[in-house]
Chain A
């Protein structure tokens, strides 16, 4: 019988906050596509005599994340120095939070694809500054300090994850949440969201955890899944070959799709933490706390639940419509204007609007269609001013022109013809032109009615009210 193993995973995430300026100076925080060492100043480049000044936006976003993660907020927290010398750390210490960070504890609940509920507990959340980037070109080490001082939240989970799939799902949910509350772009490829994973295995039923290995530098959801799976397999192979797991630090090489050992059993570095004397304690006033709390959006899981309970949407629809905040808000706005069956709006939303979003690969906000446009189109269909397929094409036309649906209908004459005389004339023409089909119909093949309606619609370029055409044709074909 093969041994079964209990897998234990904890994730350490670094979240780059999307503040306009850096954590402790006025430099632009986002340097994507900027030349190296262009967004720097005496403060973030560590010039002697310069001093940090706390960016309030960092504290606000940190607080928002604490609230979203159900963490206990320290209304007074401190910045500390983590001392180490490295070429991409200009001042020789990183300003971070050690023993009194902004958030302690907390959790995130999420549902796996198989419906299992998972709760991941959070150890703590702390604010810190990023270091620069090091690039090795042959013998030359190049340092880009643009990233120095960019605000990060480091968030460490408890060892609550038990498969690569759970770890990947947690990260997806976290990414969704970060974008939802607007604290980070959370783009893993651009390292807005970085992840290190601690992985260990132990025989099932064992009371103690196995020795953990830390995988560094996992920069996509797929990489998290693959790297952790590989590491679990490696550890199982080791144990089954009778070898002991050693405490390694491992690097994930995404290009080669392999794990590489960086170092074994680190002698724990002494960072000599002490309070950063240049910064006053971070004090969150009760007013500020309440203000931020009040401005917090409804959380995605709450909104999903509401879409199901209040709007009667199926779980599938509710999940899709709450995948990001923008979509959910678009949907709700369309529902408000439409003021009818929510499921009908959901169908239109998923089949038409999100289809275009996926096709074009652009965010909803960049599309010309607004929620009231969608509601109007559905109403036009309901009122039989246009038929369903015209309605669908209206979505594309709004996107192309940015005009209001009613305006397009009017300009292009897309409205259904419900003038009985006009329809009757065409019907008669079709009946007269197709004696063979008329004979078959009258001979009992009544399903041909659909074909006749189709002919009428074709003749009238889809503008006939199909119900009315069917009634007239039935009457005419009676003979």
Chain B
């Protein structure tokens, strides 16, 4: 018997449509897989114990009852010969920042523990129209603040299915881990500085961050509103293309969504990369940081990652793509510090609404007045990382520092954007279709690593992903092999505005060309 949970969403959907299996059976198999590999769900009272260390812990909330009802409805309609959506009966999970009507939505923050939104995110409604089956909400870094999932208030935290001693990445760590561990073929994530692509790279999954405004953000708890994007994490490029086709498009509820037509990304995949101009930039092959003397300095990226890059270039060249070397993206170095400023300011402002009054948990202690209620509620309800971001956001947003920080960060943003405009200009020197970069400077790091003092690679884990959030352009992280330690390495195909079809095509071509390679059949630790 086929391992149902290891199939792609497309394969699962076909089996259901062809009545080989029922949606209920597939849901059962998926829930069984969760029961087998996931362990305890995250909770605010959770304390990590020895037993928790060898489980994935991707989920916070299972929505089994609603999922069963939806699956039964799909089965009934298929039996009756009624039309169903393209993802009919396919179980999927969503990062716990997507508002789900009447279903707890926490953003992995204690202050939202138990909050049941009165409405659905647009994307949740769109997925429902495809007849996909939402079966659970997955863990993340608290309010998406992190790149390792360690900042969640819901413990035990998510562990990397490839190596339980390593982080799954973040902030969509639960999404990436769930998909990698065959707990559903699709998970919806969000990406503000790399939060889809980094965990995808760390878990050997595909993660697509679309153009800013391609997918509605309505009903998604925000981090930094000018950079938040929504996309799928999957095990195949085709699945990512299909989900993107279904969730993309203008939404009157999100004014920044563009009225650009949505292509049939799935149908576009087969067009291949022959004649495609794929650029390589030296600025994405090293880490640039500010050293103790306040000067820009360079550090090399991980050797394994560099080796995978080189191999991928050879493969793309062999497939008929034109490789454009030495594309300058010289403002990449500003990305991390400027991103820091803008994302903190927007995050601080977005956090203002959490007062524990209209939603979430107010303090149970005595309070003297309204502000005391705020202080205590927020003091108890926010985790360390959230407080850190709030305070840094408060600091850099002061009116007296407007020119020094916000204005300069906006200027840096303009410069970064100009890098992309130049590289992708169809009449310019480089005329790129795709920019190929590593997704992250290194494979997944160990727990505790993100806060370790000397780990430059970790601090700058966002350096190759945050520029796209700054520029508003799309990027897809796809698996490119395993490191010497057997950890997944991800590469990124980045594109220009609304060029999701092209970057998906590149990732798909690579996937097809390497389909039979040995590393493809290596299973993550959780599935062995």
The complex places the Cα of A48 from the Cα of B217 at a distance, in Å, of 11
Cβ contacts under 8 Å, B406 to chain A: 274
User: Which residues of chain A come closer than 8 Å to B226, judged between CB atoms?
Assistant: 275, 277
Does the CB pair B119–A42 fall under 8 Å? yes
Contact B346 A85 (CB under 8 A): no
Question: Is A235 interfacial (CB 8 A cutoff)?
Answer: no
Contact between chains at B358 and A90 (CB < 8 Å): yes
Q: Most chain-B Cβ atoms within 10 A of its Cβ — which of A91, A272, A274?
A: A272
Option from B121, B252, B349, B357 in Cβ contact (under 8 Å) with A81:
B349
- Counting CB contacts under 8 A, is A54 at the interface? yes
Q: Which of B25-33, B53-61, B253-261, B280-288 touches A?
A: B253-261
Known A-B contacts A91-B352, A93-B352, A272-B349; the reply to A51 vs B217 at CB < 8 A is: yes
Tell me how many residues of B have a C-beta within 8 Å of chain A.
Answer: 45
Judge if A217 is at the interface, Cβ distance under 8 Å: no
The answer to whether A47 touches B398 (Cβ under 8 A) is no
Chain B residues lying within 8 Å of A271, measured Cβ to Cβ, are: 399
Contact (Cβ within 8 A) B399 A52 = no
User: Taking A91-B352, A92-B353, A274-B345 as contacts, is the C-beta distance between A50 and B255 under 8 angstroms?
Assistant: no
Interface contact B218-A51, CB-CB below 8 Å: yes
* A280 proximal to B (CB < 8 A): yes
Tell me whether A49 and B252 are in contact (CB under 8 A): no
Most buried by A among B97, B346, B398: B346
Q: Is B221 an interface residue (CB 8 A)?
A: yes
Contact B225 A278 (CB under 8 A): yes
- State whether A83 touches B352 (Cβ < 8 A): yes
A356: min CB distance to chain B, Å = 47
Give the docked Cα–Cα distance between A198 and B346 (Å): 33
The verdict on B220 contacting chain A, using a C-beta distance below 8 Å, is yes
Does B447 have its Cβ within 8 Å of any Cβ on chain A? no
Give every chain B residue within 8 A of A91 (Cβ-Cβ): 352-353
The chain A residue with its CB closest to the CB of B256 is A280
What's the Cα separation between A53 and B118 when bound, in Å? 19
Smallest Cβ distance from B218 to chain A, in angstroms? 5
Assembly CA distance A318 to B175 (angstroms): 73
> In whole angstroms, how far apart are the Cα atoms of A279 and B225 in the complex?
10
Known: A274-B406, A278-B225. A42 touches B349 (CB 8 A): no
CA distance A52 to B353 in the complex (A): 15
Minimum CB–CB distance for A140 against chain B, Å:
12
Which residues B117-148 have CB closer than 8 A to chain A? 117-119, 121
Chain B residues near A461 (CB-CB < 8 A): none
Distance in angstroms between the alpha carbons of A275 and B227 in the assembled complex: 13
A contact residues around B121 at 8 Å (CB):
49
Residue of B nearest to A84 (CB): B352
Whether the Cβ atoms of B112 and A48 lie closer than 8 Å is yes
Give the Cβ gap from B343 to chain A, nearest Cβ, in Å.
11
B65 at the interface (CB under 8 A from A): no
Are A270 and B398 CB-contacts (below 8 A) given A47-B358, A90-B358, A93-B352? yes
In the assembled complex, which residues on chain B have CB atoms less than 8 Å from the CB atom of A50? Answer: 119, 218-219
- B394 surroundings in chain A (CB, below 8 A): 272
In chain A between 76 and 95, which residues have their CB closer than 8 angstroms to a CB of chain B? 81, 83, 85, 87, 90-93
Determine whether the beta carbon of A51 is less than 8 Å from that of B349.
no
| A274 to B254 alpha-carbon distance, docked (Å) | 19
Q: Are B99 and A141 in contact (CB under 8 A)?
A: no
Contacts of B224 in A (CB 8 A): 277
Report B121 CB to chain A, min CB distance, Å: 6
- In the assembled complex, the CB of B488 is this many whole angstroms from the nearest CB of chain A, namely 31
Are B222 and A53 within 8 A (Cβ)? no
Given contacts A272-B397, A277-B226, contact A49 B353 (CB under 8 A): no
Q: List residues of chain A with CB within 8 A of the CB of B397.
A: 83, 272, 274
Within 8 A of A (CB), among B428-466: none
A91 to B219, CA, bound (A): 14
- The listed residue (A48, A87, A274, A279) touching B99 by CB distance below 8 A is A48
B359 on the A face (CB < 8 A): yes
Q: Does A21 contact B (CB under 8 A)?
A: no
Contact pick for B117, options A47, A53, A141, A278, CB 8 Å? A47
Cross-chain contact of A46 among B105, B345, B353 (Cβ < 8 A): B353
A81 — nearest CB in chain B belongs to which residue? B349
Shortest distance in angstroms between B517's beta carbon and chain A's nearest beta carbon?
41
**Given B225, B352, B353, B399, which contacts A277 in the complex, CB threshold below 8 Å?**
B225
Interchain CB contact under 8 A, A87 and B357: yes
Q: B370 contacts which of A49, A141, A273 (Cβ < 8 Å)?
A: A141
Residues of chain B within 8 A (CB-CB) of A48 are 99, 105, 107, 112, 115, 117, 221-222, 353-354, 359
Q: Are B118 and A47 within 8 A (Cβ)?
A: yes
Residue in contact with A53 in the complex, picked from B98, B253, B358, CB distance below 8 Å? B253
What count of chain A residues pass the 8 Å CB interface test? 30
Which residues B333-362 have CB closer than 8 A to chain A? 345-346, 348-349, 351-355, 357-359
**Chain A contact residues: over half helix, strand or loop, or mixed?**
loop
A45 close to B (CB within 8 Å): yes
> CB distance B399 to A272 under 8 Å?
yes
- The contact of A270 among B220, B222, B399, by CB within 8 Å, is B399
Contacts of B255 in A (CB 8 A): 51-54, 278-280
Smallest Cβ distance from B241 to chain A, in angstroms? 26
Instruction: Enumerate chain B residues within 8 angstroms of A45, measured Cβ to Cβ.
Output: 358
Q: Which of A53, A83, A87, A277 has the most chain B CB within a 10 Å cutoff?
A: A277
Q: A residues 369-388 with Cβ under 8 Å of B?
A: none
Bound complex: CA A50 to CA B358 (Å): 14
Please indicate the chain B residues that have their CB under 8 angstroms from the CB of A52 in the complex.
255
In whole angstroms, how far apart are the Cα atoms of A274 and B374 in the complex? 23
- Scan residues 329-385 of chain A and give those whose CB is less than 8 A from a CB of chain B: none
CB of B404, distance to nearest CB on chain A (Å): 14
* Complex interface residues of chain A between 269 and 295 (CB less than 8 A to chain B): 270-275, 277-280
The answer for the CA separation of A93 and B353 in the assembled complex, in Å, is: 8
Shortest CB-to-CB span from A145 to chain B, Å, is 9
Tell me the smallest distance from the CB of A266 to a CB of chain B, in Å. 15
B353 and A90: CB pair below 8 A?
yes
Chain A CB within 10 Å — which of B346, B353, B357 has the most?
B353
Residues of A within 8 Å of B115, CB to CB, are 48
A92 touching B254, Cβ below 8 Å: no
CA distance A46 to B118 in the complex (A): 12
Chain A contacts for B112, CB-based, 8 A: 48
CA of A282 to CA of B2 in the docked complex: distance in angstroms?
A: 55
- Cβ of B225 and Cβ of A92 under 8 Å apart? no
Contact A42 B118 (CB under 8 A): yes
Please report the C-alpha to C-alpha distance between residue A194 and residue B41 in the assembled complex, in whole angstroms.
53
Distance of A289 Cα from B358 Cα, bound (Å)? 40
CB distance from A468 to the nearest CB of B (A): 73
Q: Which of B107, B220, B349 has the largest number of chain A CB atoms within 10 A?
A: B349
The residue from A42, A85, A279 contacting B355, defined by CB atoms under 8 A apart: A85
The residue on B at minimum CB distance from A270 is B399
Residue contact A49 to B374, C-beta cutoff 8 Å: no
Please, which residues of chain B bring their CB within 8 A of the CB of A270?
A: 398-399
A 246-263 contacts with B by CB, 8 A: none
Q: Which residue of B lies closest to A24 (CB)?
A: B255
Q: Which of A46, A87, A92, A272 interacts with B398 by CB under 8 Å? A: A272
Q: Are B220 and A49 in contact (CB under 8 A)?
A: yes
- Chain A residues with Cβ below 8 Å from B107 are 48
Nearest Cβ on chain A to B209's Cβ, whole angstroms: 17
Contact code string B205-239 (vs A, CB < 8 Å = 1, else 0):
00000000000011111101110000000000000
Query: Can you pick out 21 interface pairs between chain A and chain B where the beta carbons lie within 8 Å of each other?
Result: A47-B117, A47-B359, A48-B112, A48-B117, A48-B359, A49-B105, A49-B219, A49-B220, A83-B349, A91-B353, A92-B349, A92-B352, A93-B349, A141-B370, A271-B399, A272-B349, A272-B394, A274-B397, A277-B226, A277-B346, A278-B256
List the interface of chain B (C-beta within 8 A of A).
Answer: 97-99, 105, 107, 112, 115, 117-119, 121, 217-222, 224-226, 252-256, 345-346, 348-349, 351-355, 357-359, 370-371, 374, 394, 397-399, 406
The 3 closest A-B pairs by CB, nearest first: A92-B352, A277-B226, A277-B225
Besides the known contacts A50-B119, A51-B253, A274-B406, 7 further A-B residue pairs in the complex with CB atoms under 8 A apart:
A45-B358, A48-B105, A48-B107, A48-B115, A49-B99, A83-B348, A92-B353
